[in-house]
Chain A
């Protein structure tokens, strides 16, 4: 068995994902409300309300409570001298190795919610793929970005 990568992502990341889940739920709730309103107005069958309520509840259970938790528990990453390894996935656990010499550039980005929690996403680009490490503490992300770009020496004759 390969050992798991060492680091987990910040605990605040879980909060942020829960927040995203809540937004998603609110979106569904809003649609459900509109449909319910139309149902009452146009005398559509009553079970339409039930569908709306069920979907909202499912979204509450899954995208707010369960999925963020599992995702957060699963997420591991490790930046080593020679490579970056990440492991993540809800249903299918993916484990990816990106050699340092393949890294072309590293970006960090931060939306308003992440900013509030002092987190940011880090994007690692190779010539063919882009990999993300989400919701890292700001200083950690900056440090990581600096470290990766230090370690990454692209051998250009290979591309």
Chain B
């Protein structure tokens, strides 16, 4: 059934340039590497033995580039989309033709992404997702659309959703009549202030600096540490060697810090959240702009992460584990608040997720669980120390520092570990290095496990592990060791009462 008013739409021609450029961008580094390695060898002199390898290398890259361009052109040439019967329809493919029809009502999210090349042409990449896109891939991806075309899709979608379709007649009419645009809420629920952005950027790589700075200071403490006695005539060399190494590390860390500062700044610039029809819309970015949509009812769990540096100042990051693709490399969870004061979280978040409880009486890990937070690590630490000390004597002995370090970390993790359950919600608090508080509702937990080694069994200690759905691979939360009775209590809570 074809409708005379249907117009097949094409992507703008700049799509070809954008897709070619972004593919070439990924090739850039290998090309540069190849070029520099063979720099002296390139020649166009037929008699030189390097002639054929030059031709060969150039030929391979030439072919790759031509194919990339060609693929872009073909994709652009064959790609059409149009609106019909309240559906978004696309078709593409040169030999194998593919068509995909998606009912507007089924569309869960439209995510926008403006990469650097998109910005040049004033275009935007649009990813269309439905509830079915659980493997981390969007249902349809428009490589590049003009802003107006992207808005057009959104308008069509909102029209389709606003009018419950009674029969086909009306829905077709709807498409043809130009409707007034349903108003779009634009008032931001949360905006990151410039000050917060600076704090965020400057604390994103902070720990390394402090550690390396401390080490450099320590190396200056040669008055205290009797280097002379230890190394005899090697002392001077050792002393300056260490200082130079540590200074280099320090400088590297500073550079890394500056880089992460800039990157974070670019990534989270102008971060804001708009709530619109039970959906959370997050926009951010300075050079590359992104717009993510997360339907609130698809949020599976909420995670508050405090890295130690930020924890000192009472700051935290709030992540959402959302079903469907998260669009941030598909691996990370969605960052809801990149940086927020711990005490301000509740006021921002309560009305969005009314089912969750934030104030908790945590049950900590018992004292007897402490050894299980570091003892297992000795399995790999001891061999490392043994090997390093033997082969790299005497500097290898420095690896002995790993022991207090691991134990210290273990003690810290043990102190953090705690859980809380109430009627519908399980909260786990644990630490790798950053402290994580994981809030999840019972009906969102996909599976729950206890873990117990032979030694843990003797001491009535047990670990707990849970999975929730998130992006392509799911998200996990676990505590290494808690009281066995507590863990069994959680298992009981999870399976006893009927879940529905």
Q: Which residues of A are at the interface with B, using a C-beta cutoff of 8 A? A: 1-2, 82-83, 85, 89, 91-99, 101-102, 126-129, 131, 155-159
Contact = CB atoms under 8 A, between A and B. Distances in A.
B469 A128 contact: yes
A159 B323 contact: yes
A129 B474 contact: yes
Contact of B449 (A82, A95, A126): A95
B495 A128 contact: no
B173 interface: no
Contact of B447 (A1, A102, A155, A159): A102
A97 B134 contact: no
Given A91-B454, A127-B469, A99 B499 contact: yes
Main secondary structure of the interface of B (DSSP, over half): mixed
Interface string B84-111: 0000000000000000000000000000
B368 interface: no
A82 B498 contact: yes
A127 B134 contact: yes
B499 A92 contact: no
Nearest to A95: B450
Contact of A95 (B453, B473, B475, B491): B491
A128 B467 contact: yes
Given A99-B495, A155-B500, A157-B297, A128 B448 contact: no
15 contacts: A82-B498, A91-B454, A93-B452, A95-B450, A97-B447, A97-B491, A97-B494, A99-B499, A102-B447, A126-B469, A127-B469, A128-B447, A128-B470, A155-B500, A157-B297
B87 to A, nearest CB: 21
A85 B449 contact: no
B463 to A, nearest CB: 8
CB-CB nearest 10 A-B residue pairs: A128-B474, A127-B469, A96-B449, A126-B446, A128-B446, A128-B469, A128-B467, A95-B450, A98-B447, A129-B467
A92 B467 CA distance: 18
Given A82-B499, A128-B474, A2 B449 contact: no
A129 B492 contact: no
Contacts of A156: 131
B291 interface: no
Given A93-B452, A94-B452, 13 more contacts: A82-B498, A85-B495, A95-B452, A97-B495, A101-B443, A101-B500, A102-B446, A126-B447, A127-B323, A127-B469, A128-B470, A129-B447, A158-B444
A126 B467 contact: yes
Contacts of A157: 297
A158 B447 contact: no
Contacts, number: 87
Interface in B448-470: 448-454, 457, 465, 467-470
Interface of B: 131, 134, 297-298, 300, 323, 443-454, 457, 465, 467-470, 473-475, 488, 491-492, 494-495, 498-500
A127 B474 contact: yes
Given A128-B469, A129-B447, A82 B495 contact: yes
Contacts of A1: 488
Contacts of B443: 101, 155, 158
Contacts of A83: 495
A155 B500 CA distance: 9
A128 B451 contact: no
A82 B465 CA distance: 20
Contacts of B473: 128
A128 B135 CA distance: 10
A2 B452 contact: no
A113 B449 CA distance: 30
Contacts of A99: 445, 447, 494-495, 499
Contact of A92 (B298, B452, B469, B475): B452
Contacts of B488: 1-2
A159 B469 contact: yes
B325 to A, nearest CB: 13
A61 B365 CA distance: 38
B490 to A, nearest CB: 10
A21 B167 CA distance: 64
Contact of A129 (B134, B444, B446, B451): B446
A91 to B, nearest CB: 6
A95 to B, nearest CB: 5
A83 B443 CA distance: 13
